[in-house]
Structure 1
């Protein structure tokens, strides 16, 4: 249970606060800055939890701000507090676009209103941005000043007082549809010989709901360790099977995170994902997989130094995916020495572009079919070197791509049941799979 939430500047000095309980002194936050300074002098790594005089300081850093939650209880759910602080930043970014010290000072009225609605007596309440935006807007303070006496002040929507605070009960659609996307981002570090040095998969299950009433959804996934007992339908006549198949893959999902609409008790006890979805788009679930992955797009880059201050770059790209799969929007960013100029390109497919501001060559391939191999070469002037000196390029080759209808982990939706007991309408679930490069899909060049 949180006693207070403070916004502090980069030095740890408070600039805005909201107190929910009176069990901590007003001067408690003054100890935060000296504690930070002491820890910075002792170690470069600062823990996000500090204890001083029986008060717990739980904080996150966002831009030039520290957002601090204070509590006196040792039984406080620390994970819940940090989840709330991160969610608070997400909500504020929806309102303020950029959350930093200046924007906090300029919009303190909106922040106070949000803090009052998102937490009550130190317990998180309404954290869904769509619900908050129905009655708290950036212009609400100005509108309240100009409102006429004959008009009543805006009231919170009735759904915030329901047990399902993230969804309005009176939604109605002509065609009831649920769109589910499984998006996996592959992060990988390789050497020039194609050996994988590090790899991981970051997965997201995204849902876009266009369903009437208060539908109840049940999702089945083919994870043997978590969902294998429930991957087949249970004979319910309202079940909609997305993909048939009896083969079960052994997928061990790590760092599972769910949207607040998921019934965690049901998942913990029976390993079933059931939920009443918010209206519109949201992230239902995220996960991480640390597993060896074969490079999907691989490049062999070779740099040759010639006399008369000239270098030549050769690149061979290969799509190491199934032949029936296609990688779309492939971009290969090849770094070159800082003073390289006057490029001349030869390539078998796609398009080439010289990016002097990034000191790199960009090779774009709109459609890369599995099993195919393409090549390119570039000659560039390098006036600052002699014929014996080899230029050094420390930056790696960066690759971007998207492969639809495919997941690297093999995760697959087995069924999606949609039930609305009052309306009993016909629903249409849609599932899409996408594998794409993550923020760190790179090839390390030999120097």
Structure 2
């Protein structure tokens, strides 16, 4: 358990500090010497014997999140320009979980960020009263108690007058909140809607690394089920999924994907992607690595009969998160892209891009964007293409890198499009030419979004809502979306 939680700026100067329990090792001096602990600055003593940092403190880089000094352990978490630090005198106590301490610090920072609109050193100094009240509610005697922002807003009604919209005060604001005395602490009582609806989104992000021959090297699926609840009363909701292999944690087989791709299409000439529809080896399947439920899910029901039952929070929340580690034979590329570079006479660069959609014809990918790396030394570019729009943009993270960006509003399944771009280069010698060709080794990055499609094959069979007291009729809505992750690339 934590004895003290302190917030400092990037120089290590204390903004606010909350002491939760008496610890003889942790004193005011333990807080004052934080700049020395973090950055090794020289420390001098003032006339009242308190430690004071030099005025010319230079912020450093926090390379070690756990620092020990004179028997005190400093757990440091950086959030924007604020350092959240938890002070403990022992890490061997059975009640101390290091990961839990860092998770709680992160949740405190997220709550502060919501209340202050943006958590930074300036806003924290201006609103330290709100911060202290939140710390008192979120932690008791060094133990984490509460971090749900919806529940905190019910009885921490002070607002940041500059940045946070006013929180509507409840009539029973002076009484203890009902969530503290009940078992459901994520939902208020007395919620009413004219039309009771539940919107469920199954969102899957595909990360994939593809070689120049169209073979999948690595792939994974990051999925989540999001729900927007607009239901009255205290409803009991049950969600049924058609793939029990996913929920039990066993290997799942992408039979639905195989069915979707029974209509085979010709691939790009130089590529030979894996055809999953004609091989029994595909039953290597996908292995579930992570499965995380929202706190509202009744885990006892899930463990007994593998059903997902819960009383939903009001509004938007994520019911389930999962990650599937896919073998190279179980998942084939949704979109293939071949890029060729041809340098003519040392002064003209020709780039040929061939794009192929590799999913069923009924599906349509929206907002397809191809990022092709090119040299940053060029002139008079020209483009020839039969679909979409093309332009050259600089990388936001590295201005020295340029990309040929090909945008297509939609891309139907089984389609094949081409792009030819020509760039004039300055006359160069052999050494400079080699330097300009480094971009041809960088991967091509693809972005896309396919509605009404899931890569893993997971499907919602039913969504049942039961509110015994009100007995209303509900209108459930289910939507499926597959999109590219941050790492969908084709290597050369």
TM-score range normalised by the length of the shorter chain: 0.7 to 0.9
Contact 1:296–1:320 (CA under 8 A) maintained in structure 2: yes
Contact 2:116–2:160 (CA under 8 A) maintained in structure 1: no
After superposition, the Cα gap between the structure-2 partners of 1:117 and 1:22, relative to the gap in structure 1 and judged at 3 Å, is same
Contact 1:134–1:156 (CA under 8 A) maintained in structure 2: no
What do you get for the CA RMSD once the two structures are aligned?
Answer: 3.3
Matching residue within 48, 54, 60 for 2:77: 60
Q: Distance in 2 between matches of 1:365 and 1:20?
A: 57
79-88 or 54-63, larger mean C-alpha shift = 54-63
Matching residue within 406, 417, 435 for 1:374: 417
Contact 2:368–2:409 (CA under 8 A) maintained in structure 1: yes
After superposition, the Cα gap between the structure-2 partners of 1:124 and 1:163, relative to the gap in structure 1 and judged at 3 Å, is farther
Corresponding position: 1:420 with 2:467: yes
The structural deviation recorded for 1:224 is 1.6
Corresponding position: 1:314 with 2:331: no
SS class of match (1:91): helix
After superposition, the Cα gap between the structure-2 partners of 1:316 and 1:276, relative to the gap in structure 1 and judged at 3 Å, is same
The structural deviation recorded for 1:37 is 5.7
SS class of match (1:317): strand
For 1:112, the equivalent position in structure 2 comes to 132
Contact 2:127–2:160 (CA under 8 A) maintained in structure 1: no
Alignment of 1:253-402 (within 5 A): 253-268=288-303, 271-292=306-327, 293-307=331-345, 309-355=347-393, 359-383=402-426, 385=428, 389-390=433-434, 391-392=436-437, 393=439, 395-402=442-449
The structural deviation recorded for 1:338 is 0.8
163-172 or 107-116, larger mean C-alpha shift = 107-116
Alignment of 1:98-247 (within 5 A): 98-136=118-156, 139=159, 155=174, 158-161=177-180, 162-221=182-241, 222-224=243-245, 226-227=247-248
Q: Distance in 1 between matches of 2:218 and 2:159?
A: 48
What is the number of equivalent residue pairs in this alignment? Answer: 413
Q: Distance in 2 between matches of 1:412 and 1:309?
A: 53
Q: Distance in 1 between matches of 2:238 and 2:286?
A: 20
Q: Distance in 1 between matches of 2:145 and 2:384?
A: 60
Contact 1:226–1:252 (CA under 8 A) maintained in structure 2: no
Matching residue within 481, 484, 490 for 1:434: 481
Q: Distance in 1 between matches of 2:117 and 2:374?
A: 36
Structure 2: gaps of 5 or more residues: 41-60, 163-170, 251-282
The structural deviation recorded for 1:258 is 2.6
After superposition, the Cα gap between the structure-2 partners of 1:425 and 1:55, relative to the gap in structure 1 and judged at 3 Å, is farther
The structural deviation recorded for 1:186 is 1.2
SS class of match (1:260): coil
After superposition, the Cα gap between the structure-2 partners of 1:213 and 1:252, relative to the gap in structure 1 and judged at 3 Å, is farther
The structural deviation recorded for 1:268 is 4.9
The structural deviation recorded for 1:283 is 1.5
Q: Distance in 1 between matches of 2:442 and 2:177?
A: 55
Contact 1:402–1:436 (CA under 8 A) maintained in structure 2: yes
164-173 or 347-356, larger mean C-alpha shift = 347-356
Q: Distance in 2 between matches of 1:320 and 1:67?
A: 48
Contact 1:224–1:251 (CA under 8 A) maintained in structure 2: no
Q: Distance in 2 between matches of 1:129 and 1:321?
A: 41
The structural deviation recorded for 1:416 is 2.5
* TM-score under structure 1 length normalisation: 0.81
Contact 1:307–1:387 (CA under 8 A) maintained in structure 2: no
Alignment of 1:22-101 (within 5 A): 22-23=22-23, 25-26=26-27, 27-29=29-31, 48-49=65-66, 56-71=73-88, 72=90, 73-101=93-121
* TM-score under structure 2 length normalisation: 0.74
After superposition, the Cα gap between the structure-2 partners of 1:269 and 1:75, relative to the gap in structure 1 and judged at 3 Å, is farther
The structural deviation recorded for 1:308 is 5.9
SS class of match (1:253): strand
Deviations 1:322-341 (A, max 9, x none): 22221111011112101123
For 1:3, the equivalent position in structure 2 comes to 3
Contact 1:63–1:100 (CA under 8 A) maintained in structure 2: yes
After superposition, the Cα gap between the structure-2 partners of 1:135 and 1:384, relative to the gap in structure 1 and judged at 3 Å, is farther
The structural deviation recorded for 1:399 is 1.1
Q: Distance in 2 between matches of 1:141 and 1:323?
A: 54
Contact 2:391–2:406 (CA under 8 A) maintained in structure 1: yes
